[in-house]
Every structure is written in structure tokens, then in C-alpha cells.
Structure 1
């Protein structure tokens, strides 16, 4: 095609964007939380968890006291009297029933439960629950075995043992492992509510039946069974309630993304209370918003009291709810990008949720100061210290995503001017896709600056330009966008952008929409270029990338070894 005239330098300057002011929002007096008062959404173990932990501590202390004072013989005498009384009611029929009832504590059955849990948690990709489940298994088996080895208590004497047994008897290791597996299964696979309540009674019944069977067959002492149940129930109960609370890591079987937290119930009430106390905003409704385009946070539309009678329905603000799970996801995401791309994506993960929210709020204010069309930041709200925070911004009411809105030359120019302005102030957005570009009344807005980067590499800036051109061409055509782009960028800059863009450098939503349309927009842009630059080599090795690769492979191997070791451990 014929060469188009190059843009003059003065045509590329981009000034601050003028846009309508956000709707008025009423504010009330903020309240400072006094020292010692719990946060809006505290993480609690609850009474039952504390009770079970207290019991387990009592069991451990009792074992230490028995070893220190050599009083185990008195406990043996008491247990023997109980077992002798049970043996007095034995009969052939009851023995057959007891043999069948005690099958749950058999090694083969415990291995089946173990493998079933492992497979189900992996299939449903409930990785956090799986890690806690593995940790609970390691802790329970090792603590139980250590206690049994230390006490070296033999099996019941002066009464006939009818069932199979091995090892020492305090605590009962089969009962300990069975209790831990059943409780872990309950908290990792059964949704909270009525189903979990029924499951608790079912677990209680199974443990009572198994304990009665082993006492009838004289396979264990009563105190050994009691200690095993306490240890096996308390450990997973405390671990799952503290590390995978229902509010942050709910067990659910829906198609929703794990990053999207439930904002009803206690969390919803905590958000309303925290907004009023910390920002002075009176919220009347908190609802998820735009979940389809978000995978790293929980976006919310929050209706707040308006300032004045002109808006009877209230005004709205936008909130992004971040939790510790999002920080962990960010760590895994950045680790994967580093392993894939090396120096081009060699990033440091955020250490806490607070750091993540502070960074996004800072970047948003830098964009605002630079005159970019972004939502006005309104503040940060603490829901649970170091665990959950809410970033509050202006809500762009009545806007459409760029993949659905009408795109004319003015909107195309605004989008390209946004990229040019980011280059001028030394920033990169790094996640330009249809869901992050909103259009309202012919005005383009850039949202979601969570992945933005200060002083990025030229490669990252070039990728922003190519992704912006691809998004704008979804609703128009490549030639039209290219013609407008040459008013803001040179042919060399556009050629560099498409030389740097391929595969995973295009956001997943944009890749999906390109496939759905069946258009080779990237090839169309390349065909319009007067020349092409060699593709930018993405696979770049560094010492950090090599070290992370070795550590990751070693960790995966160790995890597999631990799983096999737990599976083969004696019960």
C-alpha cells in the first residue's frame, strides 16, 4: 500500500483529559477504631475449635504427666476393668458385627479414603485445601507416632484381643488417622451449611461406631481411643478454620472463579460498616459487578447515599476486594511468567495484601496526575488486617466495554492517546483488554491498574500499543485503526509493537474474542506495515530464572515423595 504521511511531533502531544465530574456522594463523620477492638471482619476459631484445641492440649499434657510420674499403671488398671466389663457381653453375633463395624479403621480402607480425597481435591483444583489436607496428614501421623513411641504402651492385657493390631497403643493410631481423614474430608469437600452440619453428625456416628468396635474387640484401650479422637479431630478442625475459613475459601461446586469472594452475610455487613467508619460513605447495597472480566479480585458495585435530593436512588462507587488468596495467586502468576519469559517478566511478588492495594492505589493516582482517563481513587478500606482490603474508586456509570461499545475515530484517537501518554509519563498498563477499556458517551476510560508498571521496559510499552490497537480493531477494522495510529506513533514504533506481541502477551479475554470473530487482526496489521521488524525474542534466561526452575522442580518432586510416604506410612 502507499505510504501514509508521518505524524508531526506536535501532533503526538497528549494533554489532560476533560470529563464529567462524578456524581455527588454524601459523607459522614469517620470513626477511628479504638485499640483492642476487633476489625470489621475478624478471623475467629470459634468456640468449638477452641474447645477441641483445649482438649488436645489436655491430652498432650496428660501424656507428659504420665511419662514424668510413671503413673501409666493406674491408667492401665482402669482401662482393663472397662475392657473386661465389655468382654463379658461378647457373643458370636456381636463379634461378627464388631468385625464389620471396625473396617473403617483398617489400613486398606484408610488408604482408599486417602487416595479418594487426593484425587477429588486435585480434580476440583482446590489447591489450598489440598495443601492444608497434606499438612494435617503429616502432622497427625507424625505426632501420633511420636506419642506412641514415647509412651510405648502395650495392647490391653488380661483380656482376649479378637482383632488385628500392630505397634503401640497410645494413642490409637488407626483411630487418630481415621478421625483426621474424616474431618479433613468434611472441611475440604463438603460445602458449609446444612450439608456440612449433616456431615458432622455422620462423622461423629462413624467415629463412635469404630471406637465401640475396637473396644469390643480389645484392639485399643479406652484412653487410647479417646486420645486418638481428640488429636484427630482437633488438628484438622483448627487448621481448616484458620487457613481455609469459609468466608475466604468457601467449598462450592459452581463455575464461579475462586478469586470471586462471597460478599453476602458477615463479609457484606463488614464492608458496609468499614466504609462508613473509614471513608465516611453510607453504603446501602454491595453487589458483585463485572465478574466475567476479572480474575484477580472481586469487583463490586457499591450503592452509597448521595449528597442532596437530586439523586433519590443514591450514587455508586466501585470497589475491588482483595484477600490473601489473591496475593498467593499473584505470586504463582509471577512465578509462572518468570519461568516462561525470564528477564522480560522478572518481577517481585507482593508480600502482603496491604502492599498490593497500596501499589494499585498509588498507580491510579499517578495515572490521574498524568491526565489519563481513569476512575478517581476514593481510598482504601481495611476489612481484616493483612488479609482483606477494599480499594474504592469512582464508578463509571452507564459505560460499555470496548468489545461491545460503538468505536468511532474519536474513541480510537483517545485509546491511542492513552498509550502515548503512558509512554510519556513512564508507565505501562500491562493488561489492556476489552474489559479494561470502557466507553461512555463517546469518552474512553482506562480501568484496572493492578498490573501497571512504573518505568517499564520498552518491550512492555510496545506490547501495550499492540494490544490497544487490537482491542480498537475488534469493533472497527485494522486499516482504520492503523491510519489513526500513525497520527500518534511512527511506523517504527508500530512495527516494534507487533514484533513484540504474540501468544501469551495478548490478554486471554482479547485472545478469546479474536478467536470468536475468526479474524486474523494481527496478520492484517502486519500486512499494513511498510516493513517488519524481527520478532522480539521472549525466551531469555537469567540466573534467577534458572534457580527458580530448579527449585520448582525440586519442590514438585518433594511433594510427590511426601505423598507417597504418607500413603505407605504404617497405621
Structure 2
């Protein structure tokens, strides 16, 4: 059969009905100074502990400037002398056992336990915050002891081991920080965390009583250590990993999927009304298994005929960081396969997807109609709102005919015509409703892509369509819109690493070898497109990644060898 000519007419736009009428109200502009729908805050206790920290630093400065160090030493000594009068052989044994929490083996074990749990459950934000808190507390405490150079208690017999200077008490500072970090990183918010906090209070009280009884620390040094050790992780975890954004949970699920109940759900409802005029009544996660880079939502809203639905994609700063790491990993593994420039803010990510979606809509591509962007927390969380394709099925669950196959191929031809590539053609992103095919999730779309990227889109679409039909049928329909050379180039450019994960999984589950079937149907084959691309940028990034791993190892070793 002769190959069709290269001059193929542009794909006709798909005609489809518009979305149902959604009831809207007057939008409200948030006045200057009013907090966003979902603000981040320290709460009263967090501000109180930070105030105590400031008071500790101010106290140190005042004592040094006014030369009142002897007065503080005298007061601490009188307290320790009074406690020493209660000593007995039995109490000494109990005190030595009670002070074991502040010893290096226990503190290091606490650190390694947290590390293991957070890695196993892939709670990276809590892990990075934990490491940051540990570095700040250990180094700040060590620096303070070296600057103040306060000696250990005198005129009181010191029982047990000790080392270094005594202001603040470094063992108490580090233990306080590690215990509070453990509660915020490992214990779910609510009653369990409240109980955990009281457990920490009890453990610190026992440790402090032991160290005062053994005269290992001054009372003022212990107070300063507790304040610094509690305030630092409290502020860090509440600001960097607030429970509304990064809840502690142990059920299975992807880290990209955010909890939309509670405060976040209420913030979404309020923001939809203020910014888009939509009266939302319910916000629920939707089709989470098909999305790994955002939180898809089905939002029930009031409509002209009762109620309707809109679709939302919730993006947070965590998704931007994940996208950055994903693109860095692809660059290290494969080189310059495509545009691997990361987004630097979540606002830019959402704006780009909204722009691409509007470009697709204006070009006649069958995509959900965009309805706007909603700001949940400035520079941290945004919601992209589109039409909800009610009744649509993922193509893997739908019955399709030649008309649907033609629509899928026409979508690729149309994207070629307008100079874009989808970059994520997989069953979860190809929907069918009433015989009409829709392409969704344009987050990874690329404008003016390379010919290689456009060819990959064609091959992936043909594989997706063949999952519900067969290779021969799809190949025959493809030759109507694409030349043999274009189809051969598509399969020369496509292999495992260029296919989305879900598509690879579906192909492995199918009893047929569809990729081999397509290759057998080609009148000729083109040489495989080389995947590995080397550049100075890739070499430099590889060296930086190796250096980062070495530094991470040194940091971990430094925490284990930190002075206590």
C-alpha cells in the first residue's frame, strides 16, 4: 500500500457541548492586610516560646554587659547546694538511671529511629525539617557554650560524667529539640500529639531532676537549654510542615496527595466563592490513582438546575519541589531529552498549565474548559479549576470504535499543527464520553517541542488506543493522517523510558506485545533515536549531585559525633 503524502490537512476541531450552567455570585476582592484563605501561623504557644527564646538571648547579653555573672553563679550554687542535702545512695542510683536519656547513645538512637521511620514512610518534608532543626540546635548550642564559656557547677560535689561548658546545657538542649521534633514528625495531630507532648514534658522533667541532683548542670543553663530546644523545632515544624499541609499519617498513599478535609477544605470553599464566584458545597479527592503530581478534586457546586460539578487540581509548593527533583533525576539519567527546566514557584506552574489549557481550548482540542485559578495560600497553594467531564470514562474502561481512534489520532495531528506536545499521553489522561475523546492533564505540555517529543506523543497515543483495540486497526487509521515515515520515526523514538509509568504498566499487563506488533506492521524501520545525551551541564550536575551525597553523609556523621 502506498504511503499517503506528507501534506496532510489539519485536524478538524472537535465539536462538543459546553459545560452545564454553573451558578455564580459576585466575586469578592480580599482587602489589603486580610489573611489568605489558608494562612500559616505559629499559634499562641509558638509565639510564647519564641518570646522566651528572645528573653534568653537578652538575658545573656544583660548579664555579660552588666558583669552580673557572679550573682547568677551564686544563685545557681545555692539551689544546687540545697538539692545536694537530699542525696542518699538509693536516690543517687535512681538519679543516674533517670539521666540516661541525655546520654549520647540514647540521643543518637532517637535520631536514627526518626530517620528510619521518615524514610520508610517517605515523609521528606518532615525529614528535611528534622535534619535542619538538629543542625541548628546542635551548632547554635555549641557556639553559645564556646562564647559564654561558663564552667561547670562549683562548691557542690559533681556526680556522674560531664564535659565542655555549661551555658546552655547542651545535653538538655539537644534532648529537648529531638523529643519535640519526634512528636511533630511521628505523632499524628490531635489527641495523640497532645498526649505525646505531655510525655515529653514528663521525660524532660525526669532528666532535669536527675541532672540537678547530680549537679551536672546549673539551673539557669537547664532553663536556657529547654527554652531553645523546644522553641526551635516548634517554630520550624509549624511553619515548614503545618498539619493542614503535611499531616502525619501512616496509611498508604502518595505524598503528592494533600488532605482536603478540615481547614484546607474550608479554605477551598471560601476561596472559590471569593475569587471565582462559585458556591461550593463539597470538596472530595477524585481519581487519585491516576495522578502523581497534584491532588485532583471533584468539587460540588450550586448550578442553575440544582447542583453541578467542577474539577480542581490542587498544587502546593511540595509539587514544585517534586517536579524539580524529577527533572533533575531525568537530566542525570538521560541528559537533554526534552525541556527539563524546573518551575521555581507554584504560582508559575499553575499559570503555565492554565495558559496551555486555554491554548488547547482556543485551538479546538478536546480538553476541559478552563474556569480560572484560585489562590489558597500565596506562593504555596493554588487551585486550577476546569470543567468536570461528568460521565467520562478512562479509555481503558471504555468501549471505543474507529471514530474514537480517529479522534485520538486527530488530537496528535492538531497538536503537531499548533506546535505543542502533551508529553504525558497515557490511559488516565485520555477519557471517552458519549463517543467523544478528551485529553486531560496538560501540566507537562511543551510549546514548540522538538520533533522527537512530538513523535513520542504519536507513538504513545497509538499504544493507548491499541490497548482497547489492536495494533493493526490503529496503524491502518494512523496512515490516514500520518505518513509511513512519521509513524516509523515515532516508534524509533519510543521505548520504555519515554512512556509514562501507567502506560508501561498497562502494556506489561496486556497479553499482547503491542510495541512489537506495531514494529511488525511498519513497511520499514528507522534507526532507534539515541536516548543518552551528554553535555557539560549534565556532567556538572552529576558532579554536584555526587558532592551533595558526600556532604549529606558528613552532616549525618557530624550529628552522630556532636558533643553532648
Same topology, TM > 0.5: yes
Q: Distance in 2 between matches of 1:357 and 1:253?
A: 29
Unmatched tracts of structure 2, length 5 or more: none
> Given that residues 4 and 484 in structure 2 are in contact (C-alpha distance below 8 angstroms), is that contact kept between their aligned partners in structure 1?
no
| Pairing 1:104-503 to 2, within 5 Å after superposition | 104-307=101-304, 311-312=305-306, 314-503=307-496
**Distance in 1 between residues matched to 2:511 and 2:107, nearest whole Å:** 52
**Residue 123 of structure 1, CA deviation:** 2.0
Task: Answer whether contact 1:337 1:345 (CA < 8 A) is retained.
Answer: no
Match of 1:53 in 2: 50
- 8 Å CA contact 1:136, 1:236 repeated in 2: yes
> What do residues 121-141 of structure 1 show as CA deviations (whole Å, max 9, x unaligned)?
222222222111111111111
- Deviations for 1:234-258, whole angstroms, at most 9, x for unmatched residues? 1111111111111111111111111
How far the C-alpha of 1:156 sits from its partner, in A, is 1.0
Q: How does 1:28-107 map to 2 (within 5 A)?
A: 28-107=25-104
User: Taking structure 2 as the reference length, what is the TM-score of the superposition?
Assistant: 0.98
- Deviation string 1:291-327 (CA, Å, 9 cap, x unpaired) is 01000000000111102xxx33x01100000000000
Find the aligned partners of 2:50 and 2:68 in 1 and give their Cα distance. Answer: 24
* CA deviations over 1:183-205 (Å, ceiling 9, x no partner): 11111111112211111110111
SS state at 1:150 partner: helix
TM-superposed deviation, 1:27: 0.7
CA–CA distance in structure 1, aligned partners of residues 54 and 286 of structure 2: 46
Give the aligned partner of residue 551 of structure 1: 544
Is 106-115 or 289-298 further displaced after alignment?
106-115
Q: How does 1:19-34 map to 2 (within 5 A)?
A: 19-34=16-31
Unaligned runs of 5+ in 1: none
Contact 1:12 1:487 (C-alpha < 8 Å) held by counterparts:
no
Aligned to 1:515: 508
When the two structures are superposed, what TM-score results if normalisation uses the length of structure 1? 0.97
- For residues 246 and 404 of structure 1, the distance between their equivalents in structure 2, rounded to whole angstroms, comes to 37
- Aligned equivalents of 1:71, 1:151: Cα separation in 2: 13
Q: Could you tell me whether the CA contact under 8 Å between 2:8 and 2:482 is conserved in 1? A: no
Deviations 1:155-189 (A, max 9, x none): 11111111211111111000111011111111111
| Shift of residue 115, structure 1, vs aligned partner | 1.8
CA contact 1:17–1:372 (8 Å) conserved in 2: yes
User: Shift of the alpha carbon at 1:546?
Assistant: 1.2
Partners of 2:50 and 2:313 lie apart in 1 by 36
State the Cα distance separating 1:74 from its structure 2 match. Answer: 0.6
Structure 1 Cα separation of the partners of residues 86 and 303 of structure 2: 76
| Range moving further from structure 2, 42-51 or 441-450 | 42-51
Work out whether residues 337 and 531 of structure 2, in 8 Å CA contact, stay in contact via their aligned partners in 1: yes
The CA deviation at 1:518 is: 3.0
- 1:473-528, Cα deviation, whole Å (9 max, x unpaired): 11111111000110110110011001101112110011111111232110110011
Instruction: Answer whether contact 1:12 1:420 (CA < 8 A) is retained.
Output: no
| SS of alignment partner, residue 391 of structure 1 | strand
CA distance in 1, matches of 2:22, 2:377: 25
Distance in structure 2 (CA, Å) of the matches to 1:252 and 1:263: 14
Q: Distance in 2 between matches of 1:562 and 1:8?
A: 62
Provide the aligned C-alpha RMSD in A.
1.1
